[in-house]
Amino acid sequence: MALTSGDEVPNAGLVKQIISTFIISTLPLNAGLATGWVSPMSSILTSSNSPVGVMSKEEISYLATLPNYVGFVLSFFFGLVSNRLGRKWALLAVGIPAMISGAVLTFGNTKTMLYLGRVLAGFTIIGGLTTPHSYISETVHQSVRGMFMCTSMVQINIGVLVSYTLGKVLEYKESGSIFSPDDSSILIAGLTLVASLVSLLLIDRVGRRPLLYLAFIGGIISLTVLSVYLYVQDKGANVTNLGWIPLSSLAVSVIVYSLGLGTVPSVISNEVPPANIKPAVSAMSSATITILIIAVVQSYPFLDQYVGLYSVFVIAVVFNVLGVFFTWFMVPETRGKTLTTIIDEMNYVQQGFSRQIGET
List the pLDDT tens digit at each of the 360 positions of the chain: 444 444 454 555 777 777 877 777 778 777 877 877 877 777 778 877 778 888 887 788 778 888 888 888 888 888 888 878 877 788 888 878 888 888 888 888 888 888 898 888 888 888 877 787 777 777 777 777 777 777 777 777 677 776 666 655 444 333 333 345 556 667 777 777 788 788 878 888 888 899 999 999 999 999 999 899 888 888 877 777 877 888 888 888 888 888 888 888 877 877 777 777 777 777 787 788 788 877 877 787 778 778 888 888 899 899 999 999 998 988 888 787 776 777 776 665 555 444 544 555
Q: Which residues contact 212 (CB under 8 A, 6 or more apart)?
A: 260, 261, 264, 323, 327, 331
Question: If we measure between CA atoms, which residue out of 162, 268, 136 comes closest to residue 215?
Answer: 268
DSSP H stretches of helix in 235-338: 244-259, 264-268, 278-306, 309-330
CATH code of the domain occupying 14-346: 1.20.1250.20
Question: If we measure between CA atoms, which residue out of 135, 68, 88 comes closest to residue 278?
Answer: 135
Instruction: State residue 320's pLDDT score.
Output: 92
Instruction: State residue 164's pLDDT score.
Output: 64
Does residue 328 sit in helix, strand or coil? helix
Tell me, yes or no, if the pTM score tops 0.75: no
Residues 59 and 295: their CA atoms lie apart, in Å, by: 19
Q: Which residues contact 70 (CB under 8 A, 6 or more apart)?
A: 119, 122
Instruction: State residue 318's pLDDT score.
Output: 94
Residues 358 and 350: their CA atoms lie apart, in Å, by: 12
Instruction: State residue 349's pLDDT score.
Output: 52
Q: Which residues contact 48 (CB under 8 A, 6 or more apart)?
A: 54
Side-chain-side CA neighbours of residue 220 (13 Å): 13
In order of 331, 343, 353, 354, the CA distances from 357 in angstroms are: 20, 21, 6, 5
Q: Which residues contact 321 (CB under 8 A, 6 or more apart)?
A: 216, 220
